[in-house]
Amino acid sequence: MAGMSITRAALEQLDREDPLAPFRDRFSLPDGVIYLDGNSLGALPRATPARVAAAVSREWGEGLIRSWNDAGWMDLPARVGGKIGRLIGAPPDSVMVADSTSVNLFKALAAGLALRPQRRVILSERRNFPTDLYIAEGLATLLGQGHTLRLVEAEEIAGALDDSVAVVMLTHVNYHTGAMHDMTAVTAAAHRAGAVMLWDLAHSAGAVPVDLAAADADLAVGCGYKFLNGGPGAPAFLYAAPRLHAAVRFPLTGWLGHAAPFAFEPSYRPAAGIAGAAVGTPPVLSLTALEIGVDIALEAPMAAVREKSLRQTTIFAELVAQECAGHGLNLVTPTDPTRRGSQISLAHTEAWPIMRALIARGVIGDFRAPDILRFGITPLYVTHTELWDAVQTLREVLATKAYTAPEYQAKLKVT
Ligand SMILES: *Cc1c(COP(=O)(O)O)cnc(C)c1O
């Protein structure tokens, strides 16, 4: 479409030709809403309410404690972990579902630092997601061994590597800009410097092709409630490369990471492999919901998901340029499609009230401080025509300055 303007009719045609179009019906989306925030909280799969209801009434209500065995509750973390593993190029028995992403970062980072006991630097990106950096700070303080956090810009990572770096901890797709690291190249650079590579896949799993084994990553964590559609607060996951399983030790030594939890031994013995990453009793209802989302993601061929994601992010950015020029928006997501995930971020000085006005009109994205309008593109349920309609709404909000209305100014607790 280079040089030609995009029309709604052309986008309708793309929807008719879209091989992923049938997936939209697998999700329950409210009328009158264009949902461009699946990178923050994925939509509800239609199958989830009945499945969770059955887990509550049949497995819990009738099966009671017997369901730990009879309904396979105790197998859920490894089973769902194995399914997520297939989405991210992880070999069998190398992914565990547990805890939140933040807690898994703590566990993985501590394990990574312990693999490099002579080194004291955690290298990360200044604009990494804050929880990742906060966890690293807190862990360094707790260890009390002089670990420091070295923060650089994304493009300075390779140059900041030296023989003091114990762990390189990066988020594959940046939450703020949507920029994506070259996982293979960065991992190789970290390894050349002798460092352990820890990836956060919060904005990658289910959204972009990931092959942890091919990239030779050491450790990874990720999120269940974003592109995996596991529901609010869905448990997260943790990966350790099989070649590390003999050596890796996770710091939270709860009973479910014990080699024999029901032997009730007085002293901790770690379970072999990734099972040692478990800590306490798994959140069965949340895992049940997460499995539905992961199963849908496994049905969708990742090559088709990526192709549609890139087409849609490109169209969205081009439409914004075509329809909203002169209104102070700046594209901050890389224009090179190989360098971005599945979102478009636009900077604007009035980003907060603009997003409030968009949401009031049924176009749901989100705001990221200080000035980012963030639009997540989830190819399984976003249509091409919705992109047109969303950008028309954005144009209207900007052209009429509707965002200056007082009701859009107040800050909310969650943005
Ligand atoms: C969403 C996200 C998290 C979320 O962590 P929680 O523990 O689930 O709150 C962490 N890191 C990154 C990079 C994220 O995008």
Nearest to residue 46, comparing CAs of 339, 350, 295, 354? Answer: 295
Average pLDDT over residues 205-214: 98
Mark whether 358 and 274 lie in a shared domain: no
Structure tokens given for 157: 């990572």
Q: What percent of the chain has pLDDT over 70?
A: 99
Atom of ligand 1 nearest to the CA of 132: 11
Q: Which residue type is seen at 150?
A: R
Tell me the residue range of the domain where 125 lies: 50-299
Phi and psi of 65, rounded to 5°?
A: -65, -20
Quick check: is 257 in a domain?
Answer: yes
Mark whether 226 and 197 lie in a shared domain: yes
β partners of residue 363: 34
Confidence check: pLDDT of 2 > 60: no
Quick check: is 286 in a domain?
Answer: yes
Phi and psi of 92, rounded to 5°?
A: -55, 150
Say how far apart CA 143 and CA 130 lie, in whole Å: 20
Quick check: is 36 in a domain?
Answer: no
CB-based contact 345:317 (threshold 8 Å): no
Confidence label for 1 from pLDDT (cuts 50, 70 and 90): very low
Mutate which of 37, 107, 175 to test ligand 1's pocket (most atoms within 8 Å of Cβ)? 175
Mark whether 19 and 142 lie in a shared domain: no
Mark whether 221 and 335 lie in a shared domain: no
Average pLDDT over residues 280-305: 98
Mark whether 260 and 129 lie in a shared domain: yes
Contacts of 94 (CB under 8 A, 6+ apart): 85, 239, 240, 241, 242, 245, 273, 274
CATH number where 93 lies: 3.40.640.10
Mutate which of 223, 226, 237, 286 to test ligand 1's pocket (most atoms within 8 Å of Cβ)? 223
- Provide the pairing of β-strand 363-364 with 34-35: parallel
Mark whether 207 and 90 lie in a shared domain: yes
Residue 276: count of CB within 10 angstroms of its CB: 26
Mark whether 282 and 392 lie in a shared domain: no
Mark whether 116 and 256 lie in a shared domain: yes
Average pLDDT over residues 1-24: 91
Domain ends where: 284, 299, 314? 299
Mean pLDDT (the chain, rounded): 97
Quick check: is 270 in a domain?
Answer: yes
102 lines ligand 1 (CB under 6 A): yes
Looking at the whole model, is its pTM more than 0.85?
yes
Mark whether 122 and 234 lie in a shared domain: yes
Distance from residue 131's CA to the centre of ligand 1 (Å): 7
Quick check: is 45 in a domain?
Answer: no
Mark whether 266 and 124 lie in a shared domain: yes
pLDDT for position 4:
81
CATH number where 380 lies: 3.90.1150.10
Cis peptide bond prior to 370, omega within 30° of 0: yes
Q: How confident is the model over 242-270, as pLDDT tens digits?
A: 999 999 999 999 999 999 999 999 999 99
Total count of domains within the chain: 2
Confidence check: pLDDT of 170 > 50: yes
